[in-house]
Amino acid sequence: MGANIGFEQDGKHQNYERPVIILRKFNKDVLWILPFTSKEKLGRYYFATEYVGEKSFIILSQLRIISSKRLIRKIRTIPKNEFLILREKIKNLL
């Protein structure tokens, strides 16, 4: 995700990597994404999910547009029912 400013979620390691979920692909170059965090966060601006027995949280308040060139690799796909709930939560915030 790159080095961020203020309260934006920073990535880790040398390349500032951060897992994200692609909420919408507009074209081959531009995506709407939401970053993940492994720290437990509760409230209307977070969405809990689990992968291989490990909980992670999607930060709904940090919805952003990025270039597809920022993506490094695909880690996983969330279940369709979780994705539909996530979309509704985003709609309710907007």
pLDDT tens for the 94 residues of the chain, in order: 555 555 555 555 566 678 899 999 999 999 999 999 888 989 999 999 987 788 999 999 999 998 998 888 898 888 999 999 999 999 999 8
pLDDT value of position 52: 77
- In this prediction the pTM is 0.79
pLDDT given for residue 58 in this prediction: 93
Whole-number Cα distances in Å, 59 to 18, 27, 56, 80, 93? 12, 23, 10, 18, 12
Q: Which CATH number is correct for 20-93, 2.30.30.110, 2.30.110.10, 3.90.1150.10, 1.10.10.60? A: 2.30.30.110
pLDDT of residue 15: 61
